[in-house]
Chain A
Amino acid sequence: DAGITQSPRHKVTETGTPVTLRCHQTENHRYMYWYRQDPGHGLRLIHYSYGVKDTDKGEVSDGYSVSRSKTEDFLLTLESATSSQTSVYFCAISEGVLPDTQYFGPGTRLTVL
């Protein structure tokens, strides 16, 4: 299994509070991704990173920011959590070379009350 961990694994928070999710990899892969998964939608890309301090938006980036100060860590921040951000969040990594297979972490279940 690819060395990807996510923390926390579960979190319950209140509307309006800031939340940061962490993804850590031990594979030295260049690319890292944050997805969210909601019933009926499959996985949707929030943001991704193609190197330290290099990030770009995905399909559903509104309300989220990311940072990558080290190769191994990719942080997802919800500046002011809303109930619509209740979801399961998955981190993924890839080498960035075709076929560019992505490897996924175990997920973080976030509930915003």
Chain B
Amino acid sequence: DAKTTQPNSMESNEEEPVHLPCNHSTISGTDYIHWYRQLPSQGPEYVIHGLTSNVNNRMASLAIAEDRKSSTLILHRATLRDAAVYYCILREGNQFYFGTGTSLTVIP
């Protein structure tokens, strides 16, 4: 079962920042938080991951709460190409459990 909770859908205006939340209240001390996104008709694409500290890469930033029970994926300037389903995932053993994710709509 998915160990994370995300809103089903969100909307953003183009060129504005987007904050995608995720709750993972049962996270253990060694669980990495992974974010993937899936564009229409494509396989999931790695976005970013983190353990305790906030992380930045060329695609996004990941803000992790101090207690690690929640995190937020930040897209600094949404583009139409960012319209996708975003998944927040924890590993359990050797398995990733994907929930249904957040469907992001970007409005021109």
Within the assembled complex, what's the spacing in Å between the Cα atoms of A58 and B94? 9
Instruction: Check if B29 is an interface residue, CB within 8 A of chain A.
Output: no
Query: Within A66-113, which residues are at the interface with B (CB < 8 Å)?
Result: 90, 92, 98-107
Q: What 0/1 readout, one digit per residue, does chain B (67-108) give for beta carbons within 8 Å of chain A?
A: 000000000000000000001000100111111110000000
Given that A42-B2, A43-B44 are contacting pairs, would A48 and B94 also be in contact in the complex, using a CB cutoff of 8 Å?
yes
Interface size for A (C-beta < 8 A) is: 25
Please indicate the chain A residues that have their CB under 8 angstroms from the CB of B46 in the complex: 101-103
Given that A42-B99, A48-B94 are contacting pairs, would A107 and B43 also be in contact in the complex, using a CB cutoff of 8 Å?
yes
Given that A31-B94, A42-B2, A42-B87 are contacting pairs, would A99 and B44 also be in contact in the complex, using a CB cutoff of 8 Å?
no
Q: How many contacts A-B (CB < 8 Å)?
A: 52
Nearest-neighbor residue (CB-CB) of A43 within chain B:
B98
CB distance from A1 to the nearest CB of B (A): 9
Please indicate the chain A residues that have their CB under 8 angstroms from the CB of B44 in the complex: 43, 90, 92, 102, 104
Choose among A44, A50, A98, A105 the residue that contacts B98 (Cβ–Cβ < 8 A): A44
Interface size for B (C-beta < 8 A) is: 22
Within the assembled complex, what's the spacing in Å between the Cα atoms of A92 and B34? 15
Please indicate the chain A residues that have their CB under 8 angstroms from the CB of B94 in the complex: 31, 48, 50, 56
Choose among A42, A48, A99, A106 the residue that contacts B42 (Cβ–Cβ < 8 A): A106
Given that A104-B44, A105-B43 are contacting pairs, would A42 and B100 also be in contact in the complex, using a CB cutoff of 8 Å?
yes
Q: List 14 other contacts, CB 8 Å, given A35-B98, A42-B101, A48-B94.
A: A31-B94, A41-B100, A58-B95, A92-B43, A98-B30, A98-B32, A99-B51, A100-B91, A103-B46, A104-B43, A104-B45, A106-B42, A107-B42, A107-B43
Q: Which residues of A are in contact with B by a Cβ distance under 8 Å?
A: 31, 35, 40-45, 48, 50, 56, 58-59, 90, 92, 98-107
The 9 closest A-B pairs by CB, nearest first: A104-B43, A99-B32, A42-B98, A43-B98, A42-B100, A104-B44, A99-B49, A90-B43, A107-B43
